[in-house]
Each structure stands twice: as structure tokens, then as C-alpha cells.
Structure 1
Amino acid sequence: MLVLQLPSIKAKVDREMGDARALIQSRLIPKGEGVVRHLALPKESKSLDWILEEMARMDHEGSSHTDYLDGKLSGAVYHGGEDMEKVIVSAFQHYCVSNPLHPDVFPAVRKMEAEVVAMCLRMYNNPEGAGVTTSGGTESIIMSVKTHRDWARAVKGITEPEMVVSASAHAAFDKASAYLKIKLHTIPVDPKTRQVNLKRVARAVNVNTIMIVGSAINFPDGCQDDIISLGKLAKRKNIGLHVDCCLGSFIMPFLGKAGFKFEPFDFTVEGVTSISCDTHKYGFAPKGSSVLMYRSKELRQHQYYINPAWTGKFCRP
């Protein structure tokens, strides 16, 4: 805003920004005589014992931070227990040099990847659908937005794409908007239900809208949007509906079996075109692992990038 450029205002803002920056650094960057910084390659290689000891020492440098093992940390670590850790370490040791880009060299990795996607599709009631694995929920969301953008351009001729999201939707949608040059309409949530305001979503949809978004559940307060109503709107307007289940992941699909009442959120809802599910949250896979699911293989096709003219030939999901 122009008011921030006024000398007196700008000076005050700069001071406060400096204070905030110093506070953040004081909390995140270890200090003291015992703190050692490694800022250049060592002249000689280090032993395994030295590396393990150094990692343990660095953990103690940050001992004032919340320890997730105490069970007092929310929204950052999804820990499946020590037995799960042993499984993960063993699997990683076996496949740490594998490269999924070369399925002919590592067929087992491709098989496991396909099976994980198939499991998630079945879990979200779309076994005949399609999907891909990604490095995390943010990438799943960005890829979904990219897919809907390219679908809308190819099928509907939309060259100035827009999307409509809730104010409670994950910030990855804002990032996708910035990366992919898509106009973003952010709709407030109802103060009581914490669901996105459906009437305002409908008013924001126009001829350039490529998709709308619902959460099941959202990060700010763990509430679920009205996916059924959003699905009806998406189907009526012939636009995409992405349901962000990154946090709900391996909990939402089992609510019914656990005896809880719930509102439908998966591919049983007409109008839902894609769903993101983080396997590295309540699926307890290591960071970063996520699955992006599509209603059809035809829609997934718009995610792919192919460059047959490159000397080495290239196809990338």
C-alpha cells in the first residue's frame, strides 16, 4: 500500500521487521561457545562414529525446542512408533539409491509406487481411477491445479484461468496460483460452521473458472467443507473440484468403520475430480510422500509433460 511508503511509516515498519527477524533468529539459530558451524567441506573425511556423535550434539543444541517424543507437538510430526521407524529405516537402506525415473532399472520401486496409488484409490472409493505419487501435499496440490489448468485450456479454451478457494484452504493453493499464473478468489468461511460460504463461492465462479476447492479436513481448525454442495456446483458448471485430504489422509476414510458420523468427501461425491492424500501424515510414511488421485485417467493425462524433441527424450508426470 502507498501509505507504507511514507518515510515515517516505512521507518517504523523497518524497525519492527528488524526486531521480528532478530527474535526469529534468536529462537532458531543455536548460540554459545559450544556451537560449531560447518560452513565448508572438511579437509579430511569423517568417520561414521563422528557423524553420529555430531548429529546427537546438534540435537542437544536445540534442546529448548519442543520434543515431539513428549507428545506436545501438533501439526508437524506424524510418528508411527519405534516399530514403524525400524521398518522405514530398513526399507530406505534397501532402496536409498533407487531412482523412480528409471522403472526399467528399479521395477520393484515402480510396482510399489503403483500399488500405493491403487490402495489410496480404493480407500477413497475410486479403484478404476488414476493417480500419481508426489513429494508431499504441496506438490500434490500444485499438480492438481496445473492439471485442471491444462484441462480447461484444452477442453474449454480457457486462457485466463481462475480458481475459487476457501480462506481456510492450504496455502499451497496460493503458491499454485503464483507459480501457474492463475487468478485466485479467496472466499471467507462461515464463523459458526467454519465451512466455506457456498453462496459466495457460487458468485465467484465465472467463465474463466477452472476449479473450486474443498477441504476434508482443513489445517486451521480441522473442519470439513460441504463437499456434496461443492460437487453439485462443480458438476453444474463443468469445472473441477479438488478435495484436499492431505491432513485427513488415512483417518477420514475410516470414520464410518470406526462408528463416527461423517459427511461424504471422496469420489462417491459427484463432481469431485481430484483428491490429495498425504501418506506421510497418518499413513506414517517418511517425509515426503503424498498421493494425488484423479477421477479418470483422461484427466490425469493433462498433468504429464512430454518433450519428444529433446536429445535424450523426456516424459515426466
Structure 2
Amino acid sequence: MNLPVTGRTAEDMLAEVARLKEHDLPVRGGQVTAYVYDTGRAEVNDAAARAYFEMLEVNCLDPTAFPSVVEMERQVVGAVADLLGGGHGIFTSGGTESIMLAVKAARDAAGRARPNLVVPVTAHPAFHKAAHYLGVEVVSVPVDLSTYKVRARDVEEAIDEDTILVVVSAPSYPQGVIDPVEEVAALAVAAGVPCHVDACVGGWLLPWLREAGAPIPPFDLSVPGVTSISCDLHKFGYAPKGASVVLFADPAMRRKAYFASAAWPGYTIINATVQSSRSAGPLGGAWATLQALGRDGYLELGRATLAATARLREGIEAIPGLRVLGDPASSLVAFAGDGIDVFVLADEARGRGWFLQPQLSYAGIPANLHITVTGVTLAGVDSMLKVIAESAEAARVRGPAVLPDGLVELVAGMDLEALDDATFADLAASVGVDLRPGAGQPEMAVVNTVLDALPAASREAVLVRFLSVIYSS
């Protein structure tokens, strides 16, 4: 029974929370190079947590009932607009919701019967998710395999009379490179199509890197033809999770992102976001983080991030068998292996206490490992490079992950829908992955190697079953 008969004390519950988190990756210190963003400044985290708690029970559903929400959002969105070329914005729960609203606004404004979205293969899957939910077709275009940037001519060739939006990234997550925003936006104008810049990762980072001396090209709403841009504050804004902003150049387009319904006898329904009732906690946390750091704080973090990224790239390139992919303009670094299985390397690093994020091969881009450099990385970059070098050598000695004969073919040909969760869990256990609660962090080289050998559709089917199993009761 999941619900206790009688209520528990706070002390008892917090003790269990600590137990449940026993196998979690650490969120502070910089040894986890994905998912978390750390300033290294405890006082900033404390200020954000206190403001988050203060706004926790305030409901953003009705801004007339809670005017604090309106003022906080004006200040937070205004700060993002000041940094990214102006515009009219909405505070959202994250990059996926910001992207969802940008696609909805473009779809509703265009009014096409068979709308499509033109995106580089390196664009975030949130665009595919938005298209799936909103009934929009995705038209993917390749990237240059030497720079990993989309080519404007490929975008131009993909646009047709049903295109409602073209997308570029600043930067794209996989290799941290900035697409040619000015070129693509110009051709979008010529075609009469809106252009969205996905700056979820870089929107709050690139301006500070530029101010710190990095050669960052124009990418925001100041670029002619850019009609919307998304920017996550829970990434390089260092706010607690649940904080993003989508900006529109035209307030009329922002209104297309809204949803209103009067077709019922209840309270008035007008939503700026996908959610209706939502806590103002993330808004409070974001507001407090921006206020606590200020311009000087973000510039200092930008300088530290720039220095750490340069040191990391230089160090990885010096390790035999490793190479950085592309020329990342931001603080996202991806590296592949020559004669070194990067999935085995990741497991070796995990065993040494460091998490490096595996990325599967796709569209001609090799399998690689991804590192997000944050404000705290500089202090530990030499330790990180030592672990990467040791792990690379250990991976070279171990050799590539060995798969049971016929496993890939078996999985590729299997009707996964015909399996129940218990059977799928047994299949995972047969390759060394224990999905039972409390099993801890498994080695993933074999699993990643299997996934890497499968086509995208089969990968997706396996991942859905994986998620179903780990949440089964």
C-alpha cells in the first residue's frame, strides 16, 4: 500500500527522501556533465529555493487573483527580452513548452490544411514532440558533416507552400555549434515563412560569452526575419528547474500562442501556456536567481565557462584516440573516439564518479560523448580531463562492448507491443541491465551499443518500453 494509514512526521519522510536519492547522480560539484547547471555559489541556490518556496502555492492560472505573478513575469521576461533583441514573451515550464507554443502560434497564424515544420536533423526532439501533439509534419534536413551546421540552401529547398515555420539552433545541443541564423532567417523572409531560433541552451549564455570576448554571431530577435526565440533560464540562467521563456517579435504572434475557451458554464479559461493551474514556484525561483546574480554575476560565470571550455577542448584533443566534433561556439562539447568505444569510456568514467552523456550516432554523425560546461566546471576541469584520459585508456584495453550473437537482429525484428513489462525486464536483464527499483546505476555500454545499431523507430520503441518498465508498480 503506497498511502500510509496515518500521517508521517517530516523527519521520517526526509529520511526516506535521503534513502531514495542514494543512487541519484549529484546535482552539485560539476561531476555530472548533463541535466544540472551549477554556479558553485550556495547563496544563489539558497535565495532561489527560498523564493521558490514563498511562491509555491501561488497559482498562475488567474493573474488577476495573484498580481505578484504578473509583476514577476514582466521582470523575468523583460530581462530576457533586454538580452535577446526585444520582443513579447511568455514564461513557461521549460524548453519543450516554449517550443510547443512557438509551433502552435505559427500553425494557428498560417492556417494551413497540411502544415509542416522544416528543421535540421540536429534540432531538439521537442520540435518533433510539438509536431506530434499539434498535427504538424516534420521535414528534416541534413547538416554539414564537417561543421554540423545546417546549410541555408538545404532549408530553402525543403520549404514549400505548406511550411509554417523554419528552425535553427543557437546552439544545437549535440555539438554546440550555432546554425547560420542570419542566412536562414533571410531566406525565410523571402519565402514568407516565420523563423524560430531554438536558443533554449544558449539564449542566456551566448550574450555573456560574447561580452567575455567570444566571437558569437548575431542570433536573436535583432536579426531580420527571426520571429521567435526560446531561452531556458533553468540552464545557463541557473534557475531551479521549470523556467523558460519564449519571445515573439510580434505581439500578434504571441496571442496565437494563447488558448481561450468560453464553451462551458464554469470559470473563465484563458491560458498563456499549455498548463492551466501551475505553481508560481519556478517563476519565483527564476526571478530570485536573476536578481541574486545580476549582470556582473552572469558575466563572471560567462568568463569562467569560456575559460573552462577552452581548457576542456584543448585537453580532449591531446588525448590519443579522442577528437572534438565541430567547432563549438558555446560551452557544449562533444567528442568521438577513434579506436575507443565511447560507450565503454562513459561506463569507465561513471565508475570513477563522473557522468559523461552518451549520444547515439545519427544522420552520419558518429556516436559520441557530450559535456555541458557550466560555471562550476573551471575549478574541476583538470580532474575531469584526468578521468577522461584514464577512462579512454581503460576503454582501449577493454575493447568495444560485446553483444550476444543475433541480439540486434532479435530486437529489430521483435514486436515489442506483444511483450508485457515483466518479459521486457527479463530481456534487459539478459544483457546486464537490472531495471528493478533500487538496483542503482547500471553499466550502459551494451545497451547503448544495441540502440546505436537500431534504426530510429526501433530505438524509440525500445525506449518507450524501458520507461514503462521502470515506472511499473
TM, length-normalised to structure 1: 0.82
Equivalent residues of 2:151, 2:180 under 8 A apart: no
**How far, CA to CA, are the matches of 2:58 and 2:25 in structure 1?**
34
* Displacement after TM superposition at 1:104 (Å): 2.5
2:69 maps to 109
Equivalent residues of 2:84, 2:203 under 8 A apart: no
**How far, CA to CA, are the matches of 1:220 and 1:123 in structure 2?**
24
2:88 maps to 130
**How far, CA to CA, are the matches of 1:197 and 1:276 in structure 2?**
21
One-letter code of the match for 1:124? Answer: L
Instruction: Please state if 1:142 is matched with 2:100.
Output: yes
**Residue number among 230, 235, 244 corresponding to 1:281 in the alignment:** 235
2:28 maps to 69
2:125 maps to 171
* Displacement after TM superposition at 1:68 (Å): 3.6
2:38 maps to 79
Q: 1:165-202 CA distances to partner (integer Å, 9 max, x unpaired)?
A: 00000000111111111111111110111101222211
Q: 1:43-95 CA distances to partner (integer Å, 9 max, x unpaired)?
A: 111101101111112222x1xx5434342212200123321221122112211
**How far, CA to CA, are the matches of 2:223 and 2:188 in structure 1?**
11
One-letter code of the match for 2:53? Answer: Q
**How far, CA to CA, are the matches of 2:137 and 2:147 in structure 1?**
27
One-letter code of the match for 1:141? Answer: I
One-letter code of the match for 1:240? Answer: P
2:156 maps to 202
One-letter code of the match for 1:274? Answer: S
2:296 maps to none
SS in structure 2 of the partner of residue 242 of structure 1: strand
**Residue number among 22, 43, 54 corresponding to 2:5 in the alignment:** 43
| Identical aligned residues as a percent | 36
Gaps of 5+ in 2: 273-473
Gaps of 5+ in 1: 1-38
* Displacement after TM superposition at 1:263 (Å): 1.1
Q: 1:83-112 CA distances to partner (integer Å, 9 max, x unpaired)?
A: 122112211221111011222332112210
2:54 maps to 94
SS in structure 1 of the partner of residue 21 of structure 2: helix
Q: 1:231-287 CA distances to partner (integer Å, 9 max, x unpaired)?
A: 101110111110001101321122321111121101111110000000111111111
1:7 maps to none
One-letter code of the match for 2:198? Answer: D
1:221 maps to 175
Distance 1:68 1:191, change over 3 A: same
2:446 maps to none
2:194 maps to 240
**How far, CA to CA, are the matches of 2:203 and 2:7 in structure 1?**
42
Equivalent residues of 1:215, 1:224 under 8 A apart: yes
Q: 1:124-168 CA distances to partner (integer Å, 9 max, x unpaired)?
A: 011xx2110111000100110010000111xxxx21101100000
**How far, CA to CA, are the matches of 2:76 and 2:225 in structure 1?**
24
Instruction: Please state if 1:54 is matched with 2:16.
Output: yes
One-letter code of the match for 1:243? Answer: V
- What is the count of residue pairs matched by the alignment? 270
Equivalent residues of 2:30, 2:38 under 8 A apart: no
2:268 maps to 313
Equivalent residues of 1:163, 1:209 under 8 A apart: yes
**How far, CA to CA, are the matches of 1:139 and 1:67 in structure 2?**
26
Equivalent residues of 2:29, 2:38 under 8 A apart: no
Equivalent residues of 1:160, 1:208 under 8 A apart: yes
Map 1:250-261 to 2 at 5 A. 250-261=204-215
Instruction: Please state if 1:119 is matched with 2:79.
Output: yes
Equivalent residues of 1:249, 1:281 under 8 A apart: no
2:331 maps to none
One-letter code of the match for 1:123? Answer: L
Q: 1:290-314 CA distances to partner (integer Å, 9 max, x unpaired)?
A: 0000001011111111112322221
SS in structure 1 of the partner of residue 264 of structure 2: coil
SS in structure 2 of the partner of residue 300 of structure 1: helix
1:269 maps to 223
**How far, CA to CA, are the matches of 1:206 and 1:221 in structure 2?**
28
- More deviation, 79-88/108-117: 79-88
**How far, CA to CA, are the matches of 1:251 and 1:112 in structure 2?**
21
